[in-house]
């Protein structure tokens, strides 16, 4: 799973959000390292919707413009959980290997 996809699913884990809300959440979750553009976000949301990982929660008109809210599906929550576990395993393996490295405090 690509990092932007992981962060989009994470942004939707607690509550439905509209596109701009997802963009803001992804920026915050990544410590400012990932800044999605609207076109990138909506393309990803379309793909995630097709895969059944997110779905439209509701739509509302705000200042004459349609605002669409997306929410994480149960399948999306499962995929996010599996990816989080995979990332934890990989991070743990990297930390183990780094501890073995002499310059990082491992045995010489």
pLDDT averaged over every residue in the chain: 94
Has residue 25 been placed in a domain? yes
The number of angstroms, rounded, from the C-alpha of 76 to the middle of its chain's C-alpha atoms is 10
Structural domains in the chain (count): 1
* pLDDT reported for residue 107: 54
Tens of pLDDT, residues 22-71: 999 999 999 999 999 999 999 999 999 999 999 999 999 988 888 999 99
Has residue 105 been placed in a domain? no
On the question of pLDDT at 104 being above 80, the answer is no
Has residue 106 been placed in a domain? no
User: Which phi and psi angles does 50 have, rounded to 5°?
Assistant: -60, -35
Has residue 68 been placed in a domain? yes
Has residue 16 been placed in a domain? yes
Domain range enclosing 69:
3-97
> Which domain CATH number covers 81?
1.10.10.10
Number of alpha helices (DSSP H) and beta strands (DSSP E) in the chain: 4, 3
Tell me the sheet residues that pair with 72.
Answer: 54
Has residue 102 been placed in a domain? no
Has residue 91 been placed in a domain? yes
Has residue 104 been placed in a domain? no
Closest C-alpha among 2, 6, 18, 1 to residue 65: 18
């Amino acid at each position: 799973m690509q990092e932007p996809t992981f962060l989009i699913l994470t942004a939707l884990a607690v509550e439905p959000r509209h596109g701009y809300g997802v963009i803001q959440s992804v920026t915050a979750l990544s410590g400012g390292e990932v800044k999605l553009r609207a076109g990138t976000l909506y393309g990803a949301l379309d793909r995630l919707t097709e895969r059944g990982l997110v779905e439209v929660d509701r739509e509302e008109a705000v200042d004459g413009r349609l605002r669409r809210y997306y929410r994480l599906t149960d399948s999306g929550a499962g995929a996010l959980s599996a990816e989080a576990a995979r990332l934890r395993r990989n991070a743990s393996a990297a930390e183990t290997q780094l501890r073995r490295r002499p310059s990082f405090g491992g045995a010489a």
